[in-house]
Amino acid sequence: MREVVMNKHTNLLELEEHFYQLVDVDEPNVFRNLFPYEEIPKIAFNDRIVPHHMPDNIWITDTTFRDGQQSRAPYTTEQIVTIYDYLHRLGGPKGLIRQSEFFLYSKKDRDAVYKCMERGYEFPEVTSWIRASKQDFQLVKEIGMKETGILVSCSDYHIFYKMKMTRREAMNHYLSVIRECLETGISPRCHLEDITRSDIYGFVIPFCLELMKLSKEYQIPVKVRACDTMGYGVNFPGAVIPRSVPGIIYGLMTHAGVPSEMIEWHGHNDFYKAVNNSTTAWLYGASGVNCSLFGIGERTGNTPLEAMVFEYAQLKGTLDGMETTVITELAEYFEKELGYHMPERTPFCGKNFNVTRAGIHADGLLKNEEIYNIFDTGKFLNRPALVSVSNTSGLAGIAHWINTYYRLTDERKVDKNSELVKTVKQWVDKQYDEGRVTVITDNELVVVITDCCNKLGIVL
């Protein structure tokens, strides 16, 4: 007899009649029909549509110091603490960057954990990541953390080929570590690795049902992180599981009974879908999305944290106090202090993300910035819209560059038909007539404009 419950989102009584038990197969199910290794993976549809289920509260969690650190030179302890301070500011007074997770294996990692905890911030909460082993769990107990992530690989690729176990053996092993975690009062966060190649109803749902039983027994939250480890997830309505992000989130909530506030999505960008899939997870019921700064992570990277800040604002209609100018400060810190090269056209933080070279765009910017700028980037990122001067910039591009670079007030702005702009344009044209193939640098323009101003008796 299953309980009839009221769904607060649909305002309808619901009765879930399905029972999902572990399917302990003899041979691994690797979904060869969807993942033929010698071909490109296939996206199949069955047109089973699940409803939107946007949670009342959504948030971001951070893996910059865990998954993000696996694909770059290790951060120093001081660098980690500095970045952690930035994350605290970025999350704002409501702590919309809820958590940041750390490795515990080296002394340097543990030193960073202690120093970040000493900051005393409520958010981001310092959490850890361990393998599903009792030896790793000892590290968590020694530090005295309130929550830890635990790697619980859930696809047959991992269970059979990597762990050399059956599904039953893997589940029992995971549950023993999780139970020990709960016995000491620590909240486990179960990282369902490779969920988009997993048997959702033959392993994932039965496993999560057991997790919810443990959570109820110990009265301690057991979180579930759905990890799209290989980036196979798709957000298309009617796509089949295990690739369907809506289908996975729906299954976790409806059939495994995992509350929204205990579901996170962790995406990878192998097929350029990390941001869309993370947003989709929010839309269909996950409260948390796990990200790394600038998307730095394994292979093609994780979901960029800064992207989800602006996805949040677009979905909620407000930033809820997040301090977005910190994104620019972080980008500058990564480039200047860490030697990280930010691709120039990276949204929100690349040096050319709001820079145009097209003369017609520059003309539009000169008349009204809103025509060709995504939002007030000066206000939200301390990055006013710019033009880069080249052979295609035209008079408007040069005028806009002068007005922006010298931060001229409205009454002092130069017109594109002014003598100064025309003179600079003649110099630019001469450069390209003589075979130049690169854009004009800011330093070159400053020298030329200064010389032209002196000749024309103009003061900017």
Quick: pLDDT tens for 50-99. Answer: 999 999 999 999 999 999 998 888 999 999 999 999 999 999 999 999 99
Overall average pLDDT of the 188-212 stretch: 98
Alpha-carbon 206 to chain mean position: 28
3-state helix, strand, coil in the chain (%, to 5): 45, 15, 45
DSSP per residue over 74-89, as a string? PPPHHHHHHHHHHHHH
In total, the chain counts a number of residues equal to 460
- Residue 246: pLDDT band (50, 70, 90) is very high
d(CA 393, CA 411): 23
pLDDT digits (tens, 9 = 90+) for 368-402: 888 888 999 999 999 988 887 888 878 988 998 89
pLDDT digits (tens, 9 = 90+) for 100-140: 999 999 899 999 999 999 999 999 999 999 998 888 888 99
Q: What is the pLDDT of residue 353?
A: 92
Indicate the pTM of the whole model: 0.90
Secondary structure of residue 148 in the 3-state scheme: strand
125 phi and psi angles, rounded to 5 deg? -65, 140
Overall average pLDDT of the 328-339 stretch: 97
Residue 360 has pLDDT above 80, yes or no: no
Overall average pLDDT of the 451-458 stretch: 94
Alpha-carbon 358 to chain mean position: 31
d(CA 396, CA 66): 46
